[in-house]
Amino acid sequence: MRYVRARDLEERTKRMVDALGLNHIDPERVICIRSYGSRSKRTLARVHAPSKAVLAALNMKPVYVIEFIEEACRRLTDEQLEDVILHELLHIPKSFSGGLRGHDARFSSELESYRKFLSRARRYR
C-alpha cells in the first residue's frame, strides 16, 4: 500500500463542510489521502481516527483521516465522489471527539437528507 496526501480532496471536503453547515467538523483537522494498491473490492473510501489513548499520549486534539481508494474512486463522477465524501463526513460525530459513528438508522436518515440537499444544489450551479 502507498498513501499520498490529497490536498485537492481536502479542499473539496472543506467546501462541502461549509456548504452543508457541518459546523461541528473542523476541516483543518480532516486530512484526505489517496491509497494505492488496496485489495478491497467494494470499498471506495474509509475514515480513520487515532485512538483517544494515542491522542492523549501525543497531546493532540482529535484528527480524522479520510482515505480514498484510488483504484475505485478514479472511476467516479464528480457527483458520486461528492456522495462518498458526504458519507465519510457523516461518520464524524457531532462531538468531534475522536470517535466514529456507525451505520444506524439515524445515520441513514441524515445521509439521505444531505443527499437530497446536494442534489437540489447541483441543479443551480
Residue 124 has pLDDT above 70, yes or no: no
Pseudo-torsion of CA 108, 101, 94, 16, nearest 10°? -60
Rounded to a whole number, what is the largest CA-CA distance in the chain? 47
The rounded mean pLDDT for the chain is 93
pLDDT score of 123 more than 80: no
Which SS3 state, helix, strand or coil, does residue 30 take? strand
% residues pLDDT > 70 (the chain): 97
Provide the terminal-to-terminal Cα distance of the chain, rounded to the nearest Å. 37
Cβ distance 88 to 12 under 8 Å? no
Take residue 49 and report the three cell numbers written for it.
Answer: 481516527
* Position 125 pLDDT exceeds 60: no
Per-residue pLDDT band for 51 (boundaries 50, 70, 90) equals very high
Collapsed DSSP state (helix, strand, coil) of residue 99: coil
What confidence tier does 46 reach under pLDDT thresholds 50, 70, 90?
A: very high
Query: Residues 64-116: pLDDT tens digits?
Result: 999 999 999 999 999 999 999 999 999 999 999 999 999 999 999 999 999 99
Rounded distance between C-alpha atoms, residue 27 and residue 10, angstroms: 8
- What are the structural domains, with CATH classification, of the chain? 2-122 (3.30.2010.10)
